[in-house]
Structure 1
Amino acid sequence: MPTWRPLTPNDITGLMQVANEIHPGLPERPEVFINRIALFPAGCLALEDEDGRLCGYAISHPIRRRCPPALDSVLVEISADADHYYVHDVAILPGLRGRGLAAECVARLLASDAAQGYSVAGLVSVYGTEAFWGRLGFRSVVVDEDLASKLREYGEDAVYLERVLDSQ
């Protein structure tokens, strides 16, 4: 059974293979992932199969509420006034879906020390995955024009979702 472990810069080649397969229409440069690992390693996980191959990943980090970074952008820092835990991406190769691995990953991220102190988590749902995220407690929210503009970068079906976290 594949297992989640910390993501490291050494995983970038495998991560890019997964990202390019899953998100061909939403490309992000390797520098973006290296940047997130460097800035917030506690929010980055790799899914490794029994043969040691990367078959999924997760990227998450704090942001200011409803102010996610633009697609394919490098961050200078995690904002000192971050008040929201952002799940940037949970990507799993198609052959491994339906096994509860994404739900396990999200539960692990949101229960981690990294997410402690945040009362809300958010994410951008793409590819019609809103129902999946809904089963994990995320709900759509009304967004302002700035966030709506960012969502358009992710495609016509992109929806911003939030989940109230258990008292931290």
Structure 2
Amino acid sequence: MLRAMRMDDLDAVLRIQREAYGDDYQESAEVLARKLRLAPDACWFAERDGVGLGYVFAHPWTAGAPRLHAPLASLPPAADHGFLHDLAVSPRARGERLGGRLFAQVLDWSRAAEHRGLQLVALADAVGFWRRLGFVPCAQALPEGYGVGAVLMRLV
């Protein structure tokens, strides 16, 4: 079941994040909670039988990427893009197309908000996944912390 994310989902989100990424890209509950507070209509959680299986955080943004591991102070007042900050699926749900369903939620949200575009940072091993969904690389430098091979991408 896909539903709007709640603050009490953050423990499960942190578990899924660790399962999906290992220890390399762990963001704190503080950073994720701030995104949820700023854009509650752009964050979803997937569960089955009360067990969290996946999540997605998105928020309004301008072109480019926000810093990783840093709480957003606020959203840009003239945000004209959607930014898909993080989408992760537990290995227990792989093969169930949950990532595609979570992405569809973000895409619907971004279109309903009439954003000019949707952007994300793809980690090196996820570039192919996002290309298959229509994203192309942008020639813009990323803030530190995203790791070697990470790429800013936009949906065409």
Confirm or deny a common fold (TM above 0.5): yes
The runs of at least 4 consecutive aligned structure 1 residues that moved more than 3 Å come to: none
How far residue 72 of structure 1 moved from its aligned partner, in angstroms, is 1.0
Q: Deviations over 1:45-89 (max 9, x none)?
A: 00101x2111111000011111x2211111121110112110001
Structure 1 match to 2:62: 64
Structure 2 match to 1:89: 86
Over 3 Å counting, the alpha-carbon distance change for 1:8 and 1:114 in structure 2 is: farther
- Scaled by the length of structure 2, the TM-score of the pair is 0.92
| Pairing of 1:143-162 with structure 2 (within 5 A) | 143=140, 147-148=141-142, 150=143, 152-162=144-154
RMSD of aligned alpha carbons: 1.5
Which sections of structure 1, spanning at least 5 residues, go unmatched? none
Letter aligned with residue 156 of structure 1: V
- Corresponding pairs, count: 155
Over 3 Å counting, the alpha-carbon distance change for 1:71 and 1:115 in structure 2 is: farther
Q: Deviations over 1:2-21 (max 9, x none)?
A: x2111010111111111122
| Partner Cα distance (2:95, 2:6) in 1 | 26
| Partner Cα distance (1:14, 1:102) in 2 | 16
Letter aligned with residue 120 of structure 1: G
| Partner Cα distance (2:151, 2:12) in 1 | 28
Please state whether the residue corresponding to 1:26 is helix, strand or coil. coil
| Pairing of 1:37-52 with structure 2 (within 5 A) | 37-49=36-48, 51-52=49-50
| Partner Cα distance (1:72, 1:57) in 2 | 17
Choose from 52, 73, 85 the match for 1:54: 52
| Pairing of 1:111-130 with structure 2 (within 5 A) | 111-112=108-109, 115-130=112-127
Which sections of structure 2, spanning at least 5 residues, go unmatched? none
Structure 2 match to 1:110: 107
| Partner Cα distance (1:26, 1:12) in 2 | 16
Q: Deviations over 1:106-165 (max 9, x none)?
A: 11211126752202101011141111111111111111xxx33x1x5111120111003x
Letter aligned with residue 78 of structure 2: D
